[in-house]
Structure 1
Amino acid sequence: MQAYEFINSLIPPLKLTDRAGMALNWMEEIRTDSLPVIDQGRFLGFIEDEIIFELNDREELIGNIQLESNACWVFSDKHIYDVLRVASENQSNLVAVVDRENTYLGVVTMEDAIAAFADSLSIKSQGSVLILSLQMKDYQLSEISRLVESENTKILSSFITSDPLDDSRIKLTLKLDKPELRHVKATLERFGYRVIDHYQEESGISSEEDRIGNLLRFLDI
């Protein structure tokens, strides 16, 4: 699940000596609104189509155009989580990947990163999703797993997000291997856990669109 594994080889980098018109042609061809720019193997940032349109000069050199998101990159050995974090921080659909010598290797698209993230959370596996709200100091996954397993159910994956309304609380999302949640939910509530949401998946979910949709529900987007 390292960043270099998800580099999209179809997205080429631009050089400072390339023309704006070529950048627009490439963007149209691969259906993206930005492209990475490199110089002597070093990542410099991304060029956006909006900026080129505003200049209205297809002959302008890329080197004379303002670049965006020069910090939107990760090392090649970083986890796909880091790719998503950097993309979110920079509000970018592309994240550059460099090696430990800062040599540009390529970019990861958010579509590929989200699909990989979905796989890591076992979203394609049938089951259900349970979301708990609890104090960070009370978080013990081993204890929660014990209670879930007491109902003959397994936790396939878990994910923590902070509570935007209370810094001391977290939301714990659990992917379970069984579609029936009633007994698990009752057991957790009996031991003082607060269940704030749940999703019982229907059988036959396999398309990429459904998997991405489930991921977005995981993240509360």
Structure 2
Amino acid sequence: MQLAKDLLTTTLPAIHKDTSLECVFSYFEECNILSLPVVEEDRYLGMVMERDFFDLDLSQGVKSVKLPLSFEEVSVLPAAHLYDVLRVVDEYDVEIVPVVDKENKYHGTIIIDDMMQKIAQMHSDQIKGNIIALRMEAIHYSLEDLSRWVEQNSIKILSVFVEADKNDPKMVVVTLKLNKVEVEPVLATFERFSLNVIYSSSLTENSENSQDRLDNLMRYLEI
């Protein structure tokens, strides 16, 4: 299980509220990032972001300007699950997520790009298998039914991801990671129950419909 405390970066500095603008922009350039966490001693105060500098009045010189703080409320607990981190990223559209405990003590920061690379590496090393994506009415989604139909073919579901179809709020896209590469019996079972398979990695080669299925999946996920 991936928790926030396991995704912390050791390369991104935290800055003080009195850090100079020259230093902030130097960190932006060195770290190839546009936002930094701001702390006072070990207490989290917020983020400083490049876009917040656009409206500053620098007529009196940069040394007269205090750092603009944003997203003081944006953080996750050290024990927060990966999905909670992703929810914060989606809700606030941030590139970093500070990790702060209940006493507001700063533990570090998650850089989202680094996190996604780490997740990709972790999952690529897991059990080899197949990925199947289904599109169905949300009211008809049942993990119990899907598990039964998959397991009756001596195959296991390793993970499930369900997301709303952005084109139709009544529909969902269900992505299944299975523990076997050869999943034709599962596909046949899904077809028998009139389930709409919009993608399967077993169909990405040597199939006339594979590109259409991939295009459908990308369209629904808006990738």
Give TM-score, length-normalised by structure 1. 0.79
SS of the aligned residue for 2:159 comes to strand
The answer to whether the aligner puts 1:149 opposite 2:127 as a matched pair is no
Q: How many residues align?
A: 205
Q: Which residue of structure 1 aligns with residue 26 of structure 2?
A: 25
Q: Which residue of structure 2 aligns with residue 73 of structure 1?
A: 75
Paired with 1:190 and 1:169, the residues of 2 have a C-alpha distance of: 20
Q: Which residue of structure 2 aligns with residue 208 of structure 1?
A: none
1:83–1:113 contact (8 Å) kept in structure 2: no
Q: Over aligned residues, Cα RMSD in angstroms? A: 2.8
**Which residue identity lines up with residue 40 of structure 2 in the other structure?**
D
Paired with 1:60 and 1:75, the residues of 2 have a C-alpha distance of: 35
SS of the aligned residue for 1:147 comes to helix
Greater relative contact order, per chain length (Cα 8 Å cut-off, separation 6+): 1
1:127–1:200 contact (8 Å) kept in structure 2: no
Q: Which residue of structure 1 aligns with residue 95 of structure 2?
A: 93
Per-residue CA deviations over 1:164-217 (Å, capped at 9, x if unaligned) read: 233333211001223334332121110232212222398xxxxxxxxxxxxx96
2:182–2:202 contact (8 Å) kept in structure 1: yes
Per-residue CA deviations over 1:83-119 (Å, capped at 9, x if unaligned) read: 1110111111100110111111111111233245446
Q: Which residue of structure 1 aligns with residue 106 of structure 2?
A: 104
**Which residue identity lines up with residue 35 of structure 2 in the other structure?**
S
1:33–1:48 contact (8 Å) kept in structure 2: yes
Alignment identity in percent?
Answer: 32
Give TM-score, length-normalised by structure 2. 0.78
Q: Which residue of structure 2 aligns with residue 114 of structure 1?
A: 116
**Which residue identity lines up with residue 33 of structure 1 in the other structure?**
L
Q: Which runs of 5+ in 1 are unaligned?
A: 203-215
Within 5 Å, give how 1:128-139 maps onto structure 2. Answer: 128-139=130-141
Q: Which residue of structure 1 aligns with residue 37 of structure 2?
A: 36
2:18–2:67 contact (8 Å) kept in structure 1: no
